[in-house]
Structure 1
Amino acid sequence: MTMKFGKLAAATAVALGLSGPAWAQVEVEWWDFLAGGDGVRMKALIDQFNEEHPEIQISGTTLEWGLPFYTKVRTAVAVGQGPDIMTYHLSRLPLALEEDVLSPISDADLEAAGLSKGDFFEASITAASTDDGQLMAVPFDIHAVVVHYNRTALDGTKWLDADGNLTGISSIADMTDLLTWAKGEGFSDPLSFQSEGGGGTWRMFYTLLRQQGGEMLTDGEVLAGDNMDKAVTAIQTLADWRAEGLIPEQAAYEASVALFSGGKSVLHINGVWEVPTFKDSTDDGSLGFEWFANEVPQMMDMPATWADSHAFAIPNDPDMTDEKREAVLTVIGWMQEHSLAWAGAGHIPAYKPTVESDDYAALQPNATYASLADNAAFDPRSKIAGVASPVYDAVDNLIAPAVHGFLSAEDAAEQMKAQLQALLD
Structure 2
Amino acid sequence: MSLESLTRRRALGLGLGAMVLAGCGGGGGPKQAAQQSSGPATAAPTSYTGPAVSLAFWNGFTGGDGPFMKRLVEQFNSAHPNIKITMNVYQWSDYYSKVPAAVSAGRGPDLGIMHVDSVATNAARQVVLPLDDVATSLSLTEADFSPPVWQAGVYKGARYSIPLDVHPLGMFYNKTVLSKAGLDPDNPPKTGEEYLAALETLKKAGVQGHWATPFPFTGSMQFGSLLHQFGGRLFADDAGVSRFAEEPGVQALTWLVELVNKGHSPKNVGQDADFIALQNGKAAFNWNGIWSINTLREHKDLEWGVAPLPQVGTEPAAWAGSHQFVIFKQRRPDQNKLTAAKVFINWISGHSIEWAKAGQVPARKTIRESAEFKELKEQAAIGSQIDHLYFLPPVAGIGDASAVVDEAVNAAVLLKKSPKDALTEAAAKADKVLEQNRKKYGA
Which bin holds the TM-score, normalised by the shorter protein? 0.7 to 0.9
CA distance in 2, matches of 1:105, 1:131: 13
Q: Please give the TM-score of this superposition, normalised by the length of structure 1.
A: 0.85
Root mean square deviation, CA, Å:
2.4
Offset at 1:401? 1.8
Letter in 2 for 1:307: A
CA distance in 2, matches of 1:159, 1:119: 39
Offset at 1:76? 2.0
Q: Please give the TM-score of this superposition, normalised by the length of structure 2.
A: 0.82
CA distance in 2, matches of 1:120, 1:203: 23
Q: 1:249 to 1:101 in 2, by over 3 A?
A: farther
Indicate conservation of the 8 Å contact 2:58/2:88, yes or no. Answer: yes
Offset at 1:206? 0.4
Offset at 1:390? 3.9
CA distance in 2, matches of 1:97, 1:279: 38
Matched, 1:119 2:144: yes
Gaps of 5+ in 1: 10-23
Letter in 1 for 2:90: L
Matched, 1:33 2:57: no
Match of 1:16 in 2: none
State the aligned residue count: 392
Which of 248, 252, 271 pairs up with 2:289?
271
Offset at 1:41? 1.5
Q: 1:158 to 1:101 in 2, by over 3 A?
A: farther
Match of 1:230 in 2: 248
CA distance in 1, matches of 2:211, 2:80: 44
Q: 1:3 to 1:251 in 2, by over 3 A?
A: farther
Secondary structure of the 2:65 match is helix
Which of 211, 226, 233 pairs up with 1:208?
226
Offset at 1:98? 2.2
Secondary structure of the 2:56 match is strand
Match of 1:361 in 2: 374
Offset at 1:317? 2.2
Match of 2:4 in 1: none
Indicate conservation of the 8 Å contact 2:177/2:281, yes or no. Answer: no
Letter in 2 for 1:413: L
Indicate conservation of the 8 Å contact 1:33/1:64, yes or no. Answer: yes
Gaps of 5+ in 2: 1-42, 436-443
Kindly provide the CA deviation profile for residues 359-410 of structure 1, in whole angstroms up to 9, marking residues without a partner as x: 1122112223322001011123333434xx3422x24433212111111212
Match of 1:292 in 2: 305
CA distance in 2, matches of 1:306, 1:404: 22
Offset at 1:93? 2.5
Kindly provide the CA deviation profile for residues 300-333 of structure 1, in whole angstroms up to 9, marking residues without a partner as x: 1111111121101011225220011111111101
Indicate conservation of the 8 Å contact 2:167/2:290, yes or no. Answer: yes
Indicate conservation of the 8 Å contact 1:125/1:135, yes or no. Answer: no
Letter in 1 for 2:317: A
Kindly provide the CA deviation profile for residues 181-209 of structure 1, in whole angstroms up to 9, marking residues without a partner as x: 2233233x41246x141231110110111
Q: 1:48-59, aligned counterparts within 5 Å?
A: 48-59=75-86
Kindly provide the CA deviation profile for residues 211-261 of structure 1, in whole angstroms up to 9, marking residues without a partner as x: 11101222544344x952222222221111122332344444443322111
Kindly provide the CA deviation profile for residues 100-158 of structure 1, in whole angstroms up to 9, marking residues without a partner as x: 22101134x235446454322222110111242x2211000111100011233334989
Indicate conservation of the 8 Å contact 2:113/2:324, yes or no. Answer: yes
Q: 1:247 to 1:318 in 2, by over 3 A?
A: farther
Match of 2:164 in 1: 140
Secondary structure of the 1:247 match is coil
Which of 92, 95, 108 pairs up with 1:82?
108
Letter in 2 for 1:324: K
Indicate conservation of the 8 Å contact 2:45/2:339, yes or no. Answer: no
Letter in 2 for 1:120: F
Indicate conservation of the 8 Å contact 1:151/1:292, yes or no. Answer: yes
Offset at 1:338? 1.0
Kindly provide the CA deviation profile for residues 15-64 of structure 1, in whole angstroms up to 9, marking residues without a partner as x: xxxxxxxxx43111111112221222212212222222222111111122
Offset at 1:298? 0.8
Secondary structure of the 2:329 match is coil
Indicate conservation of the 8 Å contact 1:192/1:269, yes or no. Answer: no
Match of 2:210 in 1: 191
Match of 1:42 in 2: 69
Offset at 1:174? 3.6
CA distance in 2, matches of 1:385, 1:250: 29
Match of 1:175 in 2: 195
Which of 96, 106, 120 pairs up with 2:132?
106
Matched, 1:255 2:255: no
Match of 2:428 in 1: 418
Matched, 1:129 2:154: yes
Match of 1:314 in 2: 327
Letter in 1 for 2:61: L
Match of 1:5 in 2: 47
Q: 1:253 to 1:339 in 2, by over 3 A?
A: farther
Which of 69, 89, 101 pairs up with 1:62?
89
Letter in 1 for 2:78: E
Q: 1:113 to 1:223 in 2, by over 3 A?
A: closer
Offset at 1:286? 3.6
